[in-house]
A and B are shown apart, each in its own frame.
Chain A
Amino acid sequence: MTDFKELDPLLHQSLRLAVMSLLASVVSAEFVYLREKTGSTAGNLSVQLDKLQTAGYITIVKDFNGKKPRTSCAITPVGKAALATYVTALKTYIQL
């Protein structure tokens, strides 16, 4: 089994990686969009989003769309760089 210790542990988790991959290809996405596309539960998604925000990989903005609360997420330059590094590392593993 290949050793994964050089891969960013924050990104090396299925839901967080899925969220980062989605956010990397859009300007911003709402919580419901991320939940629908990743097929995750609201609780788990919420926990993973918090972890990504704490690391500075994403920003989370909470506001209202009319009377409905809305949570929008966007990837930060730090997050983009981390994802690029992760993908580069992944490529080197696959080439080995």
Chain B
Amino acid sequence: MEKQLTQKESLEIIHAMVQQSRQRVGENGVFYLLWGYAALIAALAHYLLLQAGIQNPWMSWVLMPVAGVLSGIIGYRKSQQATVLTHVDTAMVYLWGAFLIVLITVLSFSGQIGFTGSYPVVILLYGLGTFVSGGILRFKPLIFGGIICWICGIAAMFSAFDVQLLLMAGAILCGYIVPGHLLYAQRND
């Protein structure tokens, strides 16, 4: 014979289970750090190579596909080990999937709009990714980081190409690296 529940016990069970299913958002930190550091190094290297007058200074961005493959491997392993799929997980996959499609499109056709025109758009796009993911994860440093990216993106529209690269590096630092470290520090909470 099953024990009869009281209404208080029923509510306690519901409350306890909803608390149990709360996401550990810190586990997402590694992706921001991976992408952030790769993009920061690429942007600064691009700037330095440009200043040094070296041919094809944009070659530094070859780091990004490497970071992409690495984060793909980490993401796949995490999904294989995960025993639960949350709405947050699904929302993040759609957000970063859309981000990647727009990023690749803008970079592929940057010949059409020019590098000087496309980099501010990329910075604004970085801001969109961090701002929205900050909302999904309810993590304020990402939301603030996203706003800083947008300010850098607007400033980049009025700047020379070499300054745009520095603004991009600043945007990545505020939008990805700092929030990424803060998020990563929470991974075991």
Contact = CB atoms under 8 A, between A and B. Distances in A.
Query: What DSSP secondary structure best describes chain B's contact surface?
Result: helix
A65 B149 CA distance: 40
- What class of interface size applies to chain B in its complex with A? 20 to 34
Contact of A13 (B2, B16, B17): B2
B5 A13 contact: yes
B13 A26 contact: no
Interface in B75-103: 80, 83-87, 89-90
B14 A17 contact: yes
A46 B57 CA distance: 60
A85 interface: no
Contacts of B80: 65-66
A22 B89 contact: no
Nearest to A26: B86
Given A13-B2, A14-B5, A29 B85 contact: yes
Interface of A: 2, 4, 12-14, 17-18, 21-22, 25-30, 32-33, 36-38, 65-66, 87, 90, 93-94
Nearest 3 interchain pairs by C-beta:
A21-B17, A33-B83, A30-B83
